[in-house]
């Protein structure tokens, strides 16, 4: 097993029973050191340095105001919000406040640790249920069959699989694992994708894929979500989703 340097995690909110459960989960990882704050206010008033923080969201009432104060008091904190149920509008506003992850409390122990590692490395993580709430008018081409034909004419099947992984923000090592190929082969596929799509980088390729309707529905990534429980999207894709928040919120039915 690879050795990980111990990382301190601040746990804000939650009742004592839940805090104890979180600590037991984290004790099996590098996130062994814990600091507790029973309220947002207590965390805001601390003089200690807060890096990675798991924050409880019990209700939406006054939540954004409290979160804004928390980020003002702890500007360098990488905040992982844990919520009881998915709320698209709340998620978008929370990312605008500067959080790094928005997770459902039903997430498993292993996926939670994986998400914390990603956040600690600067990634942003969203719940996989998000893909079920994105309205078709924003994320899917009007003629999906035609799009798939065009893609198959432009890219090989393996390149399309690789492109899907780019949309999810996976690094080459993860893509290699997901597709059961070598990292060298991944690099070849990525280079070919950039050339064929006539884009400059992975982010542009991912945005192109979303705009072309490559991500059709939640089922596209079910295999990945069953293992991970949350999706990591590239920062540009997150920005694109949150920038469309007003129209998306109006179009959705939840």
Dihedral sign for Cα 18, 23, 26, 30, please. Answer: positive
**pLDDT on residue 132:** 63
Angle formed by the axes of helices 144-154 and 157-167, to 10°?
Answer: 110
pTM, whole model, 2 decimals?
0.59
Lowest mean pLDDT among 58-67, 90-99, 150-159, 224-233: 224-233
Euclidean distance between CA atoms 126 and 81, whole angstroms: 10
Positive or negative torsion for Cα 86, 142, 161, 185: negative
Specify which residues 188 forms β-bridges with. Answer: none
Percent of the chain with pLDDT over 90: 10
- In tens, the pLDDT along 209-236 reads 877 766 533 334 333 343 344 555 555 5
Place of tokens 């928040």: 245
How confident is the model over 125-172, as pLDDT tens digits?
Answer: 888 777 666 554 444 444 454 555 567 778 898 998 898 888 877 888
Res. 197: pLDDT tops 60: yes
* Cα gap 110→83, rounded to integer Å: 18
Contact 37, 46 (CB under 8 A): yes
The mean pLDDT value of the chain amounts to 76
Task: Kindly list the structural domains of the chain, giving each domain's residue range(s) and its CATH number in brackets, ordered by start.
Answer: 8-127 (3.40.50.2300), 136-251 (1.10.10.10)
């Amino acid at each position: 097993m690879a050795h990980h340097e111990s990382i301190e995690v601040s746990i804000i909110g939650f009742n004592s029973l839940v805090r104890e459960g979180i600590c037991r989960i984290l004790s099996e990882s590098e996130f062994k050191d814990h600091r507790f704050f029973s309220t947002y206010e207590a965390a805001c008033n601390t003089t200690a340095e807060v890096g990675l923080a798991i924050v409880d969201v019990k209700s939406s009432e006054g939540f954004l105001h409290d979160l804004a104060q928390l980020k003002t008091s702890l500007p360098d904190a990488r905040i992982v919000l844990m919520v009881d149920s998915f709320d698209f509008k709340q998620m978008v506003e929370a990312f605008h406040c500067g959080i790094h992850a928005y997770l459902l409390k039903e997430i498993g122990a292993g996926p939670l640790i994986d998400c914390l590692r990603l956040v600690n490395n600067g990634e942003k993580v969203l719940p996989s249920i998000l893909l079920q709430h994105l309205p078709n008018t924003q994320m899917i081409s009007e003629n999906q069959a035609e799009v798939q034909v065009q893609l198959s004419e432009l890219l090989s099947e393996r390149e399309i699989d690789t492109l899907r992984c780019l949309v999810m923000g996976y690094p080459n090592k993860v893509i290699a694992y997901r597709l059961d190929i070598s990292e060298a082969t991944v690099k070849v596929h990525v280079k070919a994708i950039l050339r064929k799509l006539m884009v400059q980088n992975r982010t542009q390729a991912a945005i192109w894929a979303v705009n072309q309707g490559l991500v059709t529905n939640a089922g596209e990534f079910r295999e990945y979500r069953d293992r991970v429980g949350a999706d990591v999207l590239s920062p540009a894709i997150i920005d694109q989703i949150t920038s469309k928040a007003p129209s998306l919120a109006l179009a959705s039915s939840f």
